[in-house]
Amino acid sequence: MLTHEYKVEMTCSGCSGAVTRILSKKLTEPGSKFDVNLEAKTVTITSDLPEATLTEMLKKCGKEVTYIGSK
């Protein structure tokens, strides 16, 4: 499983809450996990899904999403 890192323009806890809710609803495959960091405005996702799918999922929250890379 790859760990992908994204920069997401979250401005408040409401936005990070929204991203958290979206990921917990949509990221259901076993073993996948995610971490939303409001201060650093980053979202780290560990999943088998292709990066494009994850980017699409994050863009749903209406915020600007930039792909940093995967580790």
Partner 1 sequence: MACDTKEIMISITGMTCNSCVKTIESEVGKENGIHKIKVSLENMNAKVSFDPQVLTNKDVVELIEDLGFDAEVET
Interface with partner 1 (CB under 8 A): 11-15, 17-22, 60-63
Which residue(s) pair with 64 in the sheet? none
Which residue, 24 or 70, is less far from partner 1 as judged by CB?
A: 24
CB of 19 to partner 1, least distance (A): 6
User: Which CB sits closer to partner 1, 11 or 70?
Assistant: 11
State the nearest-atom distance from the C-beta of 71 to partner 1, in Å. Answer: 25
In a 13 Å sphere around the CA of 60, the CA atoms on its Cβ side amount to 14
**Alpha carbon distance 43, 37 (integer Å):** 6
Q: Which is nearer to partner 1, 64 or 70 (CB)?
A: 64
Query: What's the CA gap between 15 and 9, in Å, rounded?
Result: 9
